[in-house]
Amino acid sequence: MSDRMVIPMPDGGRCITTRAVLERAARALAEKAAARERGEEVPSLLTYPARPIQGGRLELAPPKRGLWFAEPKYNGWRALVHCPSGTMWNRHGARLTIAHCFAEALDGLRDLSEEGFLWADCEALERRHDVARGTLIVLDAISADPKFTPTYAERRAFLESLRIPQERFSSGINAADARPLLLTTSVPACDHNAVLEFYFGLKAANRRLGCEFFEGVVMKLGSAAYPVQSRSSTEECRALVKHKWGG
């Protein structure tokens, strides 16, 4: 049975929509109303989530020069979060329609905004597999001040100071009772062989988790600022390189 709905318009015309569209609109209005009640402004989009360049399979790539860090590449949705209001956008800059699935994690980010954590780059885990649904994994912190451009190493130190529990899935542990807000694992890439061991270890973790939880790694240059830009959601940053097992 179709859920298509026909709504009469004041000018005598008709608007054809669906119940799902109306429900999403109602949730968005409810989120804005809740933010107003808390005295919070729902801001405009600050930036698109940083997009890495393609690096192919890590075992075929040359070692990186300089100080790099390896993070797991998760099989979820990228999400940009304004922590004080709990507003979420997807990687294309649209409001995330499943934000309500992360209510508990967003509450945690609101609490951390009091410590100066205002914008978060996250991975949202929901529906692509059955592990850790409703969890936000914090990937990075983004400065709201364009004149303040901390390096990745500095941003990581700030995130660790917030004492967000670190995810354990990269060790193959399915913590069913894990907290809904977690911090990504970050491994210094000083030793290429150690990074390869971490890279292939994530594939082994998938087997223990029983799903395609990881897709490879994302390498981040330790001296690079977060690439704040709102020109295009497809613009890539050369200070980030993703290496997936499939190339």
Q: Tens of pLDDT along 14-66?
A: 666 676 665 655 565 555 555 545 545 678 999 999 999 999 999 999 999 99
Q: 138: helix, coil or strand?
A: strand
Residue 1 has pLDDT above 50, yes or no: no
Name the helix (H) or strand (E) containing 24.
Answer: helix 19-37
User: Does position 125 have pLDDT exceeding 50, yes or no?
Assistant: yes
Who wins on pLDDT, 173 or 157?
Answer: 157
What does the pLDDT read at residue 22? 58
Contact 79, 89 (CB under 8 A): yes
Q: Are strands 119-125 and 135-142 parallel, antiparallel or unpaired?
A: antiparallel
pLDDT, average across residues 223-246:
95
Q: 10 or 189: whose pLDDT is higher?
A: 189
Task: Return d(Cα 202, Cα 215) in angstroms, integer.
Answer: 8
Q: Give residue 15's pLDDT.
A: 63
pLDDT at 21: 61
In the numeric block, the tokens 């040359």 are attached to 62
Residue type, 231: R
Confidence of residue 174 (pLDDT cuts 50, 70, 90): confident
Tell me the C-alpha distance between 90 and 123, whole Å: 10
What local confidence, expressed as pLDDT, does residue 7 receive? 63
**How much is the average pLDDT of 61-80?**
95
Single pTM value for the model: 0.83
Closest to 48 in 3D by CA, of 108, 96, 97, 93: 93
Output the DSSP codes for 102-121. Answer: GHHHHHHHHHHHTTT--EEE
Supply 92's token pair.
Answer: 């294309």
* Least confident segment among 116-120, 143-147, 159-163: 143-147
Whether residue 123 is predicted with pLDDT greater than 80 in this model: the reply is yes
Which tokens belong to 4? Answer: 């298509």
- What average pLDDT does this structure show over 184-213? 95
First to last CA, the chain: 42
Q: Which residues contact 214 (CB under 8 A, 6 or more apart)?
A: 72, 73, 74, 75, 169, 170, 202, 203, 205, 206
* In the chain, where the domains are located: 15-244
Q: Which fold has domain 15-244?
A: D-amino Acid Aminotransferase; Chain A, domain 1 (3.30.470)
Kindly state the tokens that stand for 20. 């799902």
Are β-strands 236-244 and 51-54 bridged in parallel, bridged antiparallel, or unpaired?
A: parallel
Query: To the nearest whole number, what is the mean pLDDT of the chain?
Result: 88
